[in-house]
Amino acid sequence: MSSDLAGKRALVTGSTSGLGLAMATALAGAGADVMLNGLGEAAAIEATRAGLEKKTGRRILFDGADMTRPKEIAAMVERTETEFGGLDILVNNAGIQFTAKVEDFPPERWDAILAINLTAVFHGCRAAVPGMKERGWGRIVNTASAHGLVASVEKSAYVAAKHGVVGLTKVVALETAEHGITCNSICPGWVRTAIVEQQIEARAKAKGVPIEEEARVLVGEKSPSRTFVTPEQIAALCLFLCSDAASQITGAAMTMDGGWTAQ
């Protein structure tokens, strides 16, 4: 990783594991101090935080803000600005999933998915943008999905939320375009995160087939490349979007999906 982000301050939600941790690691490796956020056992989170700090030599902190609570999101942004002296990069990555046909979809699951996958993105942007405008520089990267551009059955809440993220990204991009700030969304295809792993395991169990066999079937259903996108590939795209080279990319929905949405 280059040191293009030396001295920058970043906040990555949903970053104690998986895709979020990969992006946090890339940003720290490029020179940024990083505030982690996410779920997990306290000891495991501390081990992750300390390990990343030792590996990168950057200041790595953790905030356990609940992404369903707007006041906690705002407080986390404020704490990041206080601890680091500012917030230059916001990565809204926290997300959850649930699948069911629309008539069977539990309303409480709909509310939770919209709250974490979409509304939390709004609250993060709302809290971070004023400071970015004041400093005249900022990067906002929102984790959307191929499902922010196309739909699949039994994912009404997730698809609605991710479409919302893509639209919100465009609005924030327009409103900040003259302030040295960019706002983009990344739309991954199948990444073998914990959320996707749960889907694979459920499908394999229902069919009575090995998990790896069902993993190949799952990725092949959508992706012409028949290959999972890796967290490291998404992290590299995030890093590019935060660089000066991407200063004129804003409001974009960047796909990395093995050809899924080209069909």
Residues marked as catalytic: 158
Strand-strand pairing, 138-143 and 181-188: parallel
Q: How far apart are CA 34 and CA 84, in angstroms?
A: 9
Q: What does the alpha-carbon distance between residue 247 and residue 159 come to, in Å, rounded to a whole number?
A: 28
Give Cβ neighbours of residue 61 (< 8 Å, ≥ 6 apart): 33, 34, 35, 36, 49, 80, 83
Residue type, position 168, single letter? L
Determine the residue type at 116: I
List CB contacts of 194: < 8 A, sequence separation 6 or more.
Answer: 17, 18
Quick check: helix, strand or coil at residue 184?
strand
Cα separation of 162 and 144, whole Å?
A: 5
Residue by residue, DSSP assigns 1-64 as --STTTT-EEEESS-SSHHHHHHHHHHHHTT-EEEE---S-HHHHHHHHHHHHHHH-S-EEE--
Q: Count of residues for the chain?
A: 263
d(CA 235, CA 179): 25
